[in-house]
Structure 1
Amino acid sequence: MSLNSRVIAALGAVVVVGAGTVGGSIAYASGQTEINSHRATLTVGNSSITANPLCWNGGSPITEDMQQKCQDDAAQALKDGTLPTRDVTASDRLGVGVSPNVAKSGWWAFTNGGSTSQGGRYSLFSYAQGPTFSGTQQAGKALNASGKTVVTVVEGDKNSDNPIAVWYFQLNTQTS
């Protein structure tokens, strides 16, 4: 017995709808929290990785004490190799995206790469409210010489000393 294309399409639709229903039910049943609406995505070439913030205070500004702990946690995660990570070559294109809730608050992104005239920091996206994607740029400009570059994404008002959320990603430089 052979199936015609309409039967195959109908079966595919049932599978997609069923998977969406199960996935949505699981998220709802697991007590989905507001943190899931605060995500950042790092795009390298044709691949991307999405993460929850490493530092988060339930949507309230992160206090100075929490910021220090956040930086310590990020340094430890970098040392342990547990930051969300992507391999990158100098010719790859980099971009950063955020969820609409983050874009509404305002955000910016930078790396610990770049020239000394830039303070050893390279801006991937200057502060803005509204846009959800930085656009892409050549990775070679944003990488540091150590072979491990940290991308930092910050949500919050640029005039405030206390961010709302902070994400960290690690880029591992590959030669080709």
Structure 2
Amino acid sequence: MSSWRKGRRVAAAVGAVSIGLITLAACDKPTPLATVTVGTSSVNSEATDGCYGDGKVLNEKKTKDCLSKKGGKTIKVAPGEKVRIGVDPEIGESGWVMVSSNPLMKEPSKDNYRSFDGDTLFEQKDPQTGQTMGMRDKVTIAIVELKGNDGPKAMWHFNLERED
């Protein structure tokens, strides 16, 4: 075999290895999952884009941006149904809260599973008095993984739509 052909094969092998390494470097490691279940329907998601600190606390700007995000996967909630939240054990070990327009959790949870009254999630409350003023048709919830008292390190967003 000529040295020219050997050189070409070596160059092709080096090129293939380089492309493989670039492809691997471009892949993001999957984040832990959060799941919302209502009745027999479930949706799950990795952390919301831009809202995963990979074990580190999100800075103040990112935290504000992430808390104000709307969107994510959608699930329907009929009146009287429970909304069940499940998180990967990694999230449970860190501690987490669910955030929506109404305060729902007095303290962070270390559990991998919690359930909430679906109707409560849709209530529109007066910020001054705390009294219910009506019901929303849609609400976005955020599952927020905490790093102790240091702040949030990841967020997952889900949309809930009320069925009538």
**TM-score, normalised by the number of residues in structure 1:** 0.63
The 5 Å alignment of 1:142-153 reads 142-144=121-123, 145-153=135-143
* Alignment equivalent of 1:33, drawn from 25, 29, 32: 29
The answer to whether 1:98 aligns with 2:87 is yes
Q: Does the 8 Å contact 1:127/1:158 carry over to 2?
A: no
Task: State how far apart, in whole Å, the 1-side matches of 2:66 and 2:82 are.
Answer: 28
The 5 Å alignment of 1:54-133 reads 54=48, 55-72=51-68, 74=69, 78=70, 82-112=71-101, 120-123=102-105, 126-129=107-110, 131-133=111-113
RMSD: 2.3
**TM-score, normalised by the number of residues in structure 2:** 0.68
Report the structure, 1 or 2, having the larger strand content. 2
Report the structure, 1 or 2, having the larger helix content. 1
* Alignment equivalent of 1:46, drawn from 37, 40, 49: 40
Q: How many correspondences in the alignment?
A: 127
SS in 2 for 1:86: strand
Mark the CA change 1:126 to 1:89 in structure 2 (over 3 Å): closer, same or farther: farther
Task: State how far apart, in whole Å, the 2-side matches of 1:58 and 1:157 are.
Answer: 11
| 1:140 corresponds to | 119
Q: Does the 8 Å contact 2:67/2:142 carry over to 1?
A: no
Q: Does the 8 Å contact 1:34/1:58 carry over to 2?
A: no
Task: State how far apart, in whole Å, the 2-side matches of 1:57 and 1:32 are.
Answer: 13
* Alignment equivalent of 2:155, drawn from 148, 166, 175: 166
Q: CA deviation at 1:100?
A: 0.9
Give the partner amino acid of 1:97: G
List runs of 5+ in structure 1 lacking aligned partners: 1-27, 113-119
Give the partner amino acid of 1:147: D
Q: CA deviation at 1:93?
A: 1.4
Q: CA deviation at 1:31?
A: 4.7
Q: CA deviation at 1:158?
A: 4.8
Q: Does the 8 Å contact 1:109/1:152 carry over to 2?
A: yes
Q: Does the 8 Å contact 1:110/1:152 carry over to 2?
A: yes
Q: Does the 8 Å contact 1:42/1:48 carry over to 2?
A: yes
Identity %: 22
Larger radius of gyration: 2
List runs of 5+ in structure 2 lacking aligned partners: 1-23, 124-134
